Amino acid sequence: MQVVKTRKVGASTGLSIPKAFDIQIGSEFVSYKCKNGSLVFTPKIENPFSSDMAYEKDNTDHVWQEKAYQEMTREDV
């Protein structure tokens, strides 16, 4: 786990993303604020229904969905 600190960026508050996360410049994320104040950022995806490509299930999807649900519903923070 890495600790990051907020800072003022123009009229907004920003967080630096550690280099170790290897996030490309210009990447887009969807953000959520949970009941317990947690912030969740997930990569923005294209509308899957706007493509003719076949869906290929990723075996890790359920793991990340469960983890996100646990984080969003935590009451102990």
Residue 6 domain-assigned (yes or no): no
Is residue 73 in some structural domain?
Answer: yes
pLDDT in tens, 59-77: 666 777 777 777 778 776 5
In a domain, 10, yes or no: no
**Whole-structure pTM value:** 0.54
The two tokens of residue 71 are 């984080």
CA dist., res. 44 & res. 1, Å (int):
23
Q: In sequence order, which residues have a C-beta less than 8 Å from that of residue 44 and are 6 or more positions away?
A: 28, 29, 30
Low-confidence ranges of the chain (pLDDT < 70): 48, 55, 58-61, 76-77
Q: In whole angstroms, give the CA distance from residue 20 to residue 36.
A: 27
Residue spans of alpha helices (H) in the chain = 61-73
Q: Tell me the residue range of the domain where 31 lies.
A: 24-47+59-77
Which residues lie closer than 8 Å to 1 by C-beta, 6 or more apart? none
Confirm whether 66 is domain-assigned.
yes
Q: How many domains does the chain have?
A: 1
